[in-house]
Amino acid sequence: MIFGIDIGGSYIDIVKKIGDEFFHISSIPTNQEAINNIIEEYSNRRVGIAIAGWIRKGEIVNAPNLPFKIDKIKANVIENDANCFAFGISKLYNQKNMLGITVGTGIGMGIIIDGKIFKGGGVAGELGHTIVSNKGKCVCGGVGHLECYFSGWSIKKRYGKDAKELFEENKFPYDKNFNIFCRAVANAILLFDLPFVAIGGRIGGRIREDKIRNRIYEHLPKQFKPEIKVIKDDLMVAKGVCLLVEESEGNIIK
């Protein structure tokens, strides 16, 4: 049995994997008490933890969308959440070369090449903090980052409602800021030229697939036309880290 825990900016999702099947244990709002309880309950189990943060050499070096203290975690695997999302898609959808993009509180991107996560110096793929303008203060302290225009926190700031409410009211804004996001994804496609792009997360997984596919294609030369798929599975990050446990040795963040 393997437990997969996704500690995101808004929710913590927990699944367990028995054989080839995944079982949903819980999804709860992210707060310090919940994180502390999880550290205590799961530290001595076979567990993978996905975190909405930048991880380099086993250390969380930044977590701008996760303003909670995370330390003394013992786990078989500790990995960035978007990397886990991409790895899970790669295994479950049999895609060895792909981009996995998550849109939730923030924006993340995992890069899979030859079935492995490409990390560069450790934190490759931070699409949400690429610079798209010279305006807008990001939660990480930077200026003009993509998340300032399209992310859970910026959507709420702009419209006064959570993206969830906007989806429920059929008022999700496919506006100029959505276009900025699609253009950023198109740029990533041009850089890596990978054949498959998966988009998920609690916001990304609810975007209309035709809307995002067509808008991204508008920004691409005709020679670039990867398959673009919206993944409607809020638990994919937790599933992905379970699959990473099966392939990886343990590590500890102290």
Examine domains 2-80+235-253 and 85-230 and report if their fold is the same. Answer: yes
96 by DSSP, 3-state: which? coil
Q: The whole model's pTM is what?
A: 0.95
Q: Which residues pair with 55 in a beta bridge?
A: 60
Counting Cβ atoms within 10 Å, is residue 217 exposed (0-12), middle (13-18) or buried (19+)? middle
Q: Where are the domains of the chain?
A: 2-80+235-253, 85-230
- Strands in 63-122 per DSSP E: 73-75, 77-80, 98-103, 107-113, 116-117
Query: pLDDT per residue over 47-99, tens digit each?
Result: 999 999 999 988 889 999 988 888 777 889 999 999 999 999 999 999 999 99
First-to-last alpha carbon distance for the chain, in angstroms, is 25
User: What's the sign of the alpha-carbon dihedral 4, 118, 65, 230?
Assistant: negative
User: What pLDDT score was predicted for residue 39?
Assistant: 86
Task: Using alpha carbons, list the distances in angstroms from residue 37 to 2, 149, 160, 185, 224.
Answer: 18, 34, 31, 36, 46
User: What pLDDT score was predicted for residue 249?
Assistant: 52
| pLDDT tier, 253 (very low <50, low <70, confident <90, very high otherwise) | very low
User: What pLDDT score was predicted for residue 146?
Assistant: 98
Cβ contacts of 21 within 8 Å, gap of 6 or more:
none
Of 79, 29, 119, which is closest to residue 245 (Cα–Cα)? 79
Counting Cβ atoms within 10 Å, is residue 156 exposed (0-12), middle (13-18) or buried (19+)? middle
In CATH, which of 3.30.420.40, 3.40.718.10, 2.60.120.380, 3.30.413.10 is domain 2-80+235-253?
3.30.420.40
Averaged pLDDT, 220-237: 97
User: What pLDDT score was predicted for residue 143?
Assistant: 97
The domain made up of 85-230 has a fold known as Nucleotidyltransferase; domain 5 (3.30.420)
